[in-house]
Amino acid sequence: MTVLKALAILEAAVLECKKRNINTLEVRDALNFLESHTQAPWLILQYRNALDRDWTTDVGREGQQQVLRATFPSIRSSVKELLGKQIDALAQRFVVSQDTRVGEENRAPGYGIYKARVSRGVFVERSGR
């Protein structure tokens, strides 16, 4: 799973939480994956607690959606900030070593398939190189 995929799953869950039960294995896996990519672990806990709410009533669905809508942008920002720090650290290592292979050991399989760019603070997934 990639960071972009996990964020897309959580965003879809926020949008669909009033229509269906979003407490699924896919959403839980995305939260588990992003836990190590956020600087504030309480954000993941807050999202998880919202998943456990009673979604069968109108009041429960509305409350769940309010919490998720407030929490998801913070998770996205936290992930973006941590990834930015990691990129800055790699850039500093490159400046010192001038080795173009800096950071290759940290790349996930399929790194070249997806490239991310930040557009108005939102991660956008693009295929290709």
Do 21 and 69 contact (CB within 8 A), yes or no? no
What is the reported pLDDT for 31?
92
Of 113, 33, 29, nearest to 79 (Cα)? Answer: 33
CA distance 36 to 87: 16
What is the reported pLDDT for 110?
41
Q: What is the pTM of this model?
A: 0.66
What is the reported pLDDT for 32?
92
What is the reported pLDDT for 100?
64
CA distance 38 to 79: 5
Average pLDDT for runs of 10 along the chain of length 129? 90 90 92 87 90 80 90 90 79 71 53 41 47
Domain count, the chain: 1
Q: Is 119 helix (H, G, I), strand (E, B) or coil?
A: strand
The parent domain of residue 20 ranges over 3-127
What is the reported pLDDT for 26?
94
Helices (H), ranges, the chain:
3-16, 25-35, 41-51, 58-97
